Structures are given as C-alpha cells and as structure tokens.
Amino acid sequence: MDPDKEEFLKEFGADYGYPNGPKTIDEIRATEFKRLNGLVYLDHAGATLYSELQMEAVFKDLATNVYGNPHSQSDSSFATYDIVREARQQVLDYFNASPKDYKCIFTSGATAALKLVGEAFPWSHQSCFMYTMENHNSVLGIREYALSQGSAAFAIDIEESMDHEVSRGNLMSVKVSQHQIQKRNEARFFEKEPTGGAYNLFAFPSECNFSGLRFSLDLVKIIKEDSERILEGSPFCSGRWMVLIDAAKGCATQTLDLSKHPADFVVISFYKLFGYPTGLGALIARNDAAKLLKKTYFSGGTVAASIADTDFIKRREEIEELFEDGTTSFLSIASIRHGFKMLNSLTTPSISRHTASLTTYVRKMLLGLKHENGVSVCTLYRSDNVKVVCHGWGPIISFNLRRPDGSWFGYREVEKLASLSQIQLRTGCFCNPGACAKYLGLSHSDLLSNIEAGHVCWDDYDVVNGKPAGAVRVSFGYMSTYEDAKKFIDFVRTSFVSLPNQIGRYHLREKPSSFPDEGPGKLLAGGVCLKSITIYPIKSCAGFSAASWPLSSTGLQYDREWLLKSLTGDILTQKKVPEMCLISTSIDLHQGILFVESPRCKERLQINFKSNICNGSTGEDFHIHGQRYQGRSYNNEVNIWFSQAVGRPCCLLRCSMSSYYLNNSRCVGMCRDVQSRLNFVNEAQFLLISKESVSDLNDRLSSNMKNSALGVAVQVNPMRFRPNLVISGGEPYAEDGWRNLKIGDNCFTSLGGCNRCQMINLVNEGGQMQKSNEPLATLASYRRVKGKILFGILLRYQTADEVEQETNPWLQVGQEIHPNSF
C-alpha cells in the first residue's frame, strides 16, 4: 500500500470507507461507479452522482411496471398513486417527520419549493423576511415577494453569545447582527407598530454551500421561542415567527431530525441526495404552517370542482393535492425509492464520517502547502475564529491560491487546469452572494465596482482590482475516495506551488516577453520567412491555404467575413458544433466566388460576392465579444444547405460593418484589439505560429508520453492551432519577444500571446471529432502566464493610412520576416 495512504488510514481508518457497511468504498467504486475511471469528481455540492446499480434498479422498475397518470382511475393509475404515497412517506421518514405533523409536497426542485413558500406566505405590512447572509440566491429570491407585499426584509449574522446566563433551557444563547432593513413601501413603513398577529419568516441553510458551515439546528426553536430577546430593539421582535430551512445541500451528509427541530418548512432536491432524478424536489411543510399559505393559482389536480364561465372553484383540502399543480413527475417520484435504498444501506452518519475524513485530510494538506519563499499557497474560507452558531462543517472546502509574491491565481485558471487533469470542481460564488462577499471581504463598493467592470456570474473575470471575485470549491460525496483527494492535492502542488528547482519555470509565467532564452538579436540567425498563409472565410469552418493573398483593413481579405447563426440567435462555433471543421472552403478571387463543401451535402455551394443573394439591404445587428456587427443574411437555399451541413437549422451572415462599443479600460479577457476593424474573429486580425515552437512542443509531448509510458505520443502540426500565418527559421518562441514585425513591406503590431483553450484538443479522425487533454495539458506545464496558456502571437495590420507602405498590399509565401523593425 502507498505509504501516504497508510498514514491517512492510521488517522481516519475508523471513519473512512464504511468499514462496517455492506460494501467498502473500494467495492462501491469498482461495482457502482465504473464510469469514474480516471476522473476525479469533486462537485458534489453542485450535484452528486447516481450509482450505476441505482439506475439499473430504476430501469428495471420502469421496464416491468406500468404507471399511469395518478389523476385517472385505472389500475395503472392506482399503482402510481400507491408509489407516490410510499415516496412521500420515505421522504418524511428520512427527516424523522411524523405524517401527523408534516406533509411532503413534491415540486420541480428546491428552488420551486422556495418559490412556492415565497408567493403563498401571508405577508403583510407588519411582516418581515429575515435571512442569514449565508443563503443561496433561490432563498434570497423570497425577498421579492416580501417587499412587493409591503413587508420588510433584512439579512443577519448570527454568533454564539458569551452571556450564557440568558440561555433558555438547553438552547444556546445567540447574538444577532442586523443588516440594513429593506422596505419598498416607505410611506407605510411604521404606519403602525407591528402587531403580534403578523407572520414573519426566517430562512437559513442547514449547510452553507460556500463554506460548508453547518448552522445549529437549534436556531429553529431559538427564533420561534426567543425572538423578542435576540431581536430586542427591532420593530420585528414580536409577531409569529416561522422558520424555513434550505436543506438542499446539507441533508445528504447531515441528519435533520424534524421531531427535535420542528421547522415550518424544509426544502430539498433529490439529485443533491443521490444524483437522480433531476428536476424533482420537495417542500416538507408543517401542517399548521401549510394551512397559512395563501395559494392563488389553481390547476388540474388542485381543485375538486370549477365552473368555466363563472367565478367559482372548490379547492382540494389535502395539503399535497392543493399545492402540487398539474400532474406530478410520477416516474421520477417512483425512482427515488431506489436512491433512498442506497443511502439507507450506508446510513447518513456513516456518510458524514466518511466525507468528513476526506475533507479534514484535504484541508490539512492545503494549509501545509508553502512556496519556496515561505508564503502560504492556500487561503481557506471558514470561520474557525468566529463564534458562529455552528454545528460543525460539511464536506466542502472553498479557497483561493496565492503566488509567491502574494498576488492571487485566478479561480478560472485553477478550474481550467483542473479540467486538463481530469478533475471536476466548481468556481465562482456558487449562487451565494452573501457568503461570497462575507468570506472574501468584499464591500458593497467592491461588488458594484466588479459589476461596472463587466463581472457577472459564470464569466472569466476572476480577479478584479487585485481581489478575487469568487473562489474555488471542492466538495465530497459518499462515493469519494482517498485517491480522489490525493490526486487533487498532487494537482495543486505540481501546478501552483513554486519550489526551489522550479524558480525558472515560475518566472516564465510572470513575464511573457521573457519566454525565450535568447533575445531578439538572435532571431534572424537562420533567416525567418513566411511558410504558409491560411484564410478561414467562415468562422469556425475549415480554411484554405494560398501562396499569396491580399490584405485589407480587417486583415486577410475575406478572412472570417461570414458566420453561421442558429435560429435562436446563437453564434455557431466548433466549441458548440465540432463538425463545423468538416465544412471546407475556398475562394476564387478572379470570379469573386466562395466555394463551400461538406460531406453531408451532395452539391458544392457557390456564393457569388457580387450577386444579389442577400435579402434586403439594411442588415442584421448583433454583438460578439464587445463588438457591434451588422450582417447581411442569405436566401433560403443557402441556409438550407448549411443547416444540412451542420445538422441543425441555421443561417449564413456576412459581415458588412463592425465597431467597438466598449472602451479599452473595460475590455477584459476577449477584448484585446479595440483599435482595428474586425471581422468575426475572437481577439485579433491575425494569429501567427512558429514551426520551431510547434517542433519544441512536439518534443515535449513525446517526452511526456515516453515518461508516462502510456502509448503513442500525440504530435501536432501548426494547423491544429488555426493560424493565419506560419513562419519558420527562428528560435522556438522567439515570437514572444516581438513588439512588431514586417513581412515584406507590410507592417504588423504584436498584441501579445494567444490564450489557448480546449479547442486545440479537438482533432478530426476519419470524419469523427476526437478530444483528448493534449496538447493543452503540456502547454499548461510551461506556457502559463497569469492564468493564460499562451501559444502563438496575435497581430494587428498597420494599414497604409497608419504607416508608409503599399496601397494594394499582398502577403506572399517566402517573404522575409523582420521583427522589431519599426
């Protein structure tokens, strides 16, 4: 056995791997999660994974039984009714909730359950919605219902009070720090003092999905029984308090016993518990609380009778039937028993101990990582030094990584490199803005500044004004293993920790202009010349080579002057439609015709530049990467041809005009060349690749494969990178140091390195698109600069108006390259 694992088992062997369960963790992985071979999945807080045996049981159930609509009266409908009834009881049993006290209402997910509470709660001008800062956006959305009904809303931070003399019975004493009260109808605020008859709602998560903090479930009774003391001085200290628990994340690894902690509402999603089904959740509601909800809409299944042409309905009296609009997702409901069977066989306490052992181990290892200068690599986000009302920590670790100089690695850089290492994790704020701001120390002004800089959820703006805008999160599930945790730690160590023998490699990341070992003086030792010219008329489709080609104000004439757009408005690219690379193109300059071919189309398409093929003359406006374009559309015959070629409805557009609408100071990431007129390119007019740089990359690919003994080495040619210009004759990566260059008499300015993505890992083999981790994984090991993996350089053409050169310029293969020459 690996010595590191032996050490791990010495410390955690009693809790790790279900030693007293029906199967060990190794047996579970070998028999129920064979699809995870080579893959490390660490996003169980986002969605845990279903067991293969679980799905086999689901398929067998559906294949051998007939389940009809439960609103019918047939035998198959009665079978469905029984299954749904049993499923409700399983849910209540899981939370130790008596059906005398609680009802299980099935919804489309935890979010739908929260929405149901928000829109049906008995809000009044004397009500308030109080919630902890650590809450999911789906909980915060309830605020809109409260405010729209004239109620108040405010966030709170809760800490354990040091004054234990005021504790009541066995309940701890808490201190509440109240944030600003939000109220939309200010004129009616405090129109009269809140009365004891107003209903208030308090919401908190059983486990914070940002930090893993498990809130004490004693908060249920504390808020219900002691609100006047803990909210002393607040106009909302009185009134009737109801408590909602968001258990979507926490209930998979923490027992929530509603007989001991009688919350009024609990929301869950079943895919967070056992992976399948998605699109199904539940609201577990106390009977007396559910009867206070005021439902407006009625639907099939929720009414006992209605009259179509008069204002009359008689609603059903059973709570579940009253709130489950339409036909429930009964086949999904039938499948949850197989998930509960798996959970119950392992038991929630055992799952909690297993995941806690992995979490503790990874947290300890991350905290121990140091750069060669002694700077800590990892900053963890958890409140160990704060007396929060805490019931431990769930299997979540959120963190950011620092460079040796104290600056931050961007979380998107971590995510991209993790993906190359077959590690799936989550980055950002995880739809929990309050916890994100709290743990990252972001003020309101910081958050507004980030938004003004263009930062929104799921984008690449990971460090704004020197501060992280989010974090990296790893989370563990019942099937996670020590090997998963070890591979993740090894990934962080090899990718982000600067060691004494890696100083040179690290400095390469810091200064892209210093990639080459030799300076520009040696660049022309062998003479550098232009080896090939490639034009890509249609964005993301195959290009063609030419011995010579004219230049224009947008780059190579006709380069990416066309694109394909779906009927829903999406721009089609190889990232979405890899088969686009099978569409070949060529241009006859003398005839002014674009020729297009596809293996899916019998006829070769001809598009005449000057014919009246475009519909209308005004064009269509749209935006790509901060650039405003106007495009001309084509007739139905052309669009049908391309729809057949890509296997989905689309239309062809030709660029007729473009202009930037973002200024340079706000362009982050993709917005690089804001001075030029661009066709449908991502970043710049030209991409230049060096054959010597590709050769060096291939040597490294061969070396990596030889060292790993995994088989045949991956080799790439320059065209894998979709360059416009390929050069030859210099040192590898000499182009990194070029500020500008002349090709013949034509002048170009370097805009820096090209940030590579997963696209270069796609390769067409026999008409099928294949994807691997190379060459991007190898490039990431030595060509990483501030979160970008650079290979090749981007160029902007200096037109005749900007510098003295030919008025009808052409590029020609064989022309000499003169770097840093103007």
Which residues are the active-site residues?
431
Which tokens hold the place of 784? 């990483």
State the Cα torsion 179-185-187-192 to the nearest 10°: -70
What tokens does 122 get? 């008995």
Can you list the positions of beta strands (E) in 502-554?
529-535, 544-546, 548-552
What is the Cα–Cα distance from 499 to 641, expressed in whole angstroms? 56
Helices and strands in the chain, H and E counts: 21, 41
Tokens of 584: 């070949």
Which of 391, 393, 464 has its CA nearest to residue 669?
464
**Rounded to an integer, what distance in angstroms lies between the CA atom of residue 796 and that of residue 818?**
15
**CA distances for 248 relative to 112, 209, 295, angstroms:** 12, 9, 24
- Please state, in angstroms and rounded to a whole number, the distance separating the CA atoms of residues 368 and 766: 48
CB of 635 closer than 8 Å to CB of 615: yes
The sign of the dihedral angle between the CA atoms of 401, 402, 408, 414 is negative
DSSP letter for each residue of 201-245: EEEEESB-TTT-EEE-TTHHHHHHHHHHHHTTTSTTSSSEEEEEE
DSSP string, 299-315: -TTTEEEEETTTTEEEE
Backbone φ and ψ for 812, nearest 5 degrees, come out as: -140, 135
CB-based contact 388:218 (threshold 8 Å): no
| Spatial distance between the Cα atoms of 145 and 127, rounded to a whole number of angstroms | 12
Instruction: Please list the residues that pair with 135 across neighbouring strands.
Output: none
DSSP per-residue letters across 452-494: HTT--TTSS--EETTEESSEEEEE--TT--HHHHHHHHHHHHH
Instruction: Check if the beta carbon of residue 516 is closer than 8 Å to that of residue 733.
Output: yes
Report the C-alpha dihedral over residues 575, 580, 582, 588, rounded to 10 degrees.
-130
Q: What is the dihedral of CA 632, 638, 644, 648, to 10 degrees?
A: 20
* Ramachandran angles phi, psi of 756, nearest 5°: -90, 155
Strand partners, 380: 399
Q: Rounded to the nearest 10 degrees, what angle do helices 3-12 and 348-367 cross at?
A: 130
Neighbours of 457 (CB within 10 A): 12
Please provide the distance, in angstroms rounded to a whole number, between the alpha carbons at the two ends of the chain: 63
Q: 780's torsion region: left (phi>0), alpha (psi -120 to 50) or beta?
A: alpha
Tell which residue, 235, 243, 194, has the closest CA to residue 218: 243
For residue 424, the surrounding DSSP H or E stretch is strand 423-424
Q: For the CA atoms of 779, 781, 785, 791, what is the dihedral angle to 10 degrees?
A: -10
How far is Cα 821 from Cα 505, in angstroms, rounded to an integer? 30
